[in-house]
Structure 1
């Protein structure tokens, strides 16, 4: 449009608002109107909230019956009604070997093997999921090229050097069908399918990794 420069905020606000209460584009404002701030970008406060739609949680805890941290971890999951599978490494040789493999030969407990499927997580939620205590075993992110939230999630992962597989659901019908299955028929993106291992997380760390808070 040739007169685009005359669209709000235009050159005539100050004088015409003083005289008529509005400018020629009929934007009614009060005396506190300031073009310098009225059109300033507004920070999306939702990005500061640990917001995520959790579609799936699969959790296995490697523990011992006598370990206080193991009991606290079980208590936290019970508090939030999160089901989990328990493997006592003193009764399961294969479980002990998995714990050792994840922990440099040590039988550290509790060690949690977790899978999460989350949709449209905020940056705060991503920061909780990818806590330094949580080691990424695999990560697939279902995306589209045009989605702003996808670009934001990519920037988060790339900025922290977190490897992931990027699957464009507009180019992969099977991936699109999987996303729809997780999201009640919607092709919601980004949807992340992530497998993590965390050893001896605090209650707060685990709650954030699992998007419980």
Structure 2
């Protein structure tokens, strides 16, 4: 225990939990971060970058010109798109609750408590009383006017200089963790994973969904879906929210922010290890979906987030009343280009072939939209940046004349297809040459008890309706396997 004397400072008084979350309602990771903070009773202020231009400028300043959200400020320190594991570490979030340690680096008992917590895998928020006047006032309030450290708060309940024995009891340290065994663990919370869960739960099988980001997958990022049976038109987020609600109603357990790093089979059970925990299941469904394919030309990686994007629903709002370029010629490119034309000044669609591969319906729609222009049979050579390192344009080559030109705009969106999110499984189940999971029968993979559904599966059709059908197929595979 230490009694400290506060040196006079000119520091402005601050309140506890001074957390700012810059984001937007359409952003999946913003929704994930907000939900995680709320679930753990962490107070924060949400600033919508769509409604606050100063907030957009602040995000760009923090991220070296890139518009990346969520960006979270915790006690004057910024974190760009922190996952739940990082948030837990910074804010002291644990299964037993929220842990805060008020102390100082020079205090021996503070160092002892910090080391003990770290050695036992306990996340804690360290609040230096030498750096924050409000922290000194909090310690005085807890200790009846005395400045005693370490003072530890567990779920807001204070303990003054607890020794290691007391911390062991309070935090249930060294008590063997009992793992619940699920009938099936579904990796990925898109349409396929949610449907699998709905059907499995109806069969009275206990399911767990582990989702790296937020529930909904690529469908959640689709502004409008017009080919899902039963709905002439429905927004992607709304459809996915309905599926999530239905899965929960039937009893599914859903955990977001859980990135799977390993799958191992032990004693007829599958051990699923994430960055933060381990889960046990009798069967596994891989429904990790796919991500956007890149062009692979010079300056692409450097400009992603600084003018180059892959999701119109996610990043289109940054380009209201501005000029943009869309690269691609399939359904997604034209659908997203039409969506962007609704609020952008102009949309220039670049395609490497003479004709679009998109369906006739989308091609016909282009003719009636005045602020869309097309640049056909042109290959993208490299991206051009300005003197600030931000996107300025793309160098093109005419495939017939070989003539090169530069097309300029404020931003650019790439829609040239998808690649499966299966790299983590390449040594676990058989993949085809493109990385898609090979299946047979009732969505069975090369490993008995592991199934695959959705866009990550070989031969899958990248449509929401198709993904739900594959989820049904996987659920029947689970039923057959478990029975």
* TM-score of the pair, normalised by structure 2: 0.19
Q: 1 or 2, which has the higher strand percentage?
A: 2
* TM-score of the pair, normalised by structure 1: 0.39
Which structure has the larger Rg over C-alpha atoms? 2
Q: Which has the higher contact order (CA 8 A, sep 6+)?
A: 1
Q: 1 or 2, which has the higher helix percentage?
A: 1
